[in-house]
């Protein structure tokens, strides 16, 4: 009976896990190259951002359950904090979902307004650390004006987090210095090759560790 109960419990956990991972549809979590790219950045900037150790398995899943992920709350609390307040983050509780989601919504809206008001929009986006793919995935208006973060498609959630990481790196000197101070071979992903459509095949050995994952990154 004990063995039967353990098997039943293991199956329930497996079913729950599969149900959670299916929320990434039409993408699959293990093919989204942006996730290890985000994780790689957070690891390189861990001290400057005053973050706990980032575990790849947990990072992959935190965006699938944003309202109850403590890791995502800590990441957002840090990325949304002004640099001078980060040093004391570990003394305070992480921002709850509603609070960081509201702050994120205001931050993203500010980016859209700043770029919309600029005569040289590509240049302004570049100054904010935002690439054209950010806007092609999120649209001409912030998706957070229509829906809360947890109701957005998984891929848009990934790109909101990636955009926030890119912005912090580009606009905060202490974070940039911390990343660039790392050994050069740890700062970059490994490009394994390209196919006929110019897709790059990349690996993040310093973040993924023993979990061998090769990601396909399109040129656009």
Alpha-carbon span 40 to 35, nearest angstrom:
9
Specify the number of domains making up the chain: 1
What is the predicted pLDDT for the residue at 20? 58
Residue 4 CB burial class (10 angstroms; 0-12, 13-18, ≥19): exposed
Residue 68 is assigned to a structural domain of this protein = yes
User: Is this model's pTM higher than 0.85 or not?
Assistant: no
Structure tokens at 93: 């509780």
Residue 195 pLDDT level (bands cut at 50, 70, 90):
confident
Q: Which domain holds residue 148?
A: 2-189
Residue 212 is assigned to a structural domain of this protein = no
The mean pLDDT of 132-148, rounded to a whole number, is: 94
What is the predicted pLDDT for the residue at 54? 85
Residue 210 is assigned to a structural domain of this protein = no
Q: Looking at the predicted structure, is the pLDDT value of residue 220 above 90?
A: no
pLDDT 10s digits, 147-175:
999 999 999 999 999 999 999 999 999 99
Residue 211 is assigned to a structural domain of this protein = no
Residue 24 is assigned to a structural domain of this protein = yes
Q: Higher pLDDT residue, 189 or 183?
A: 183
Residue 196 is assigned to a structural domain of this protein = no
Structure tokens at 39: 């994780």
Residue 87 is assigned to a structural domain of this protein = yes
Residue 153 is assigned to a structural domain of this protein = yes
Which whole-number Å values give the CA distances from 124 to 127, 128, 132, in the listed order?
5, 6, 11
């Amino acid at each position: 009976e004990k063995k039967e109960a353990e098997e039943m419990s293991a199956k329930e956990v497996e079913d729950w896990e599969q149900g959670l991972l299916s929320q990434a549809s039409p993408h699959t979590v293990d093919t989204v190259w942006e996730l290890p790219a985000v994780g790689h950045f957070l690891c390189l900037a861990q001290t400057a951002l005053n973050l706990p150790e980032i575990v790849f398995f947990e990072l992959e899943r935190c965006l699938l359950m944003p309202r109850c992920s403590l890791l995502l709350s800590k990441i957002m609390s840090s990325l949304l904090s002004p640099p001078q307040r980060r040093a004391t983050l570990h003394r305070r509780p992480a921002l709850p979902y509603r609070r960081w989601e509201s702050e994120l919504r205001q931050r993203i809206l500010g980016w859209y307004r700043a770029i919309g008001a600029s005569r040289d929009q590509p240049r302004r986006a570049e100054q904010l650390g935002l690439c054209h793919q950010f806007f092609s995935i999120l649209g001409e208006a912030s998706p957070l004006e229509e829906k809360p973060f947890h109701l957005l498609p998984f891929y848009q959630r990934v790109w909101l987090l990636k955009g926030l990481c890119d912005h912090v790196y580009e606009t905060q000197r202490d974070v940039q210095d911390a990343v660039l101070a790392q050994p050069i071979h740890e700062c970059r992903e490994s490009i394994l090759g390209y196919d006929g459509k110019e897709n790059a095949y990349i690996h993040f050995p310093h973040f993924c560790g023993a979990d061998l994952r090769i990601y396909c990154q399109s040129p656009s």
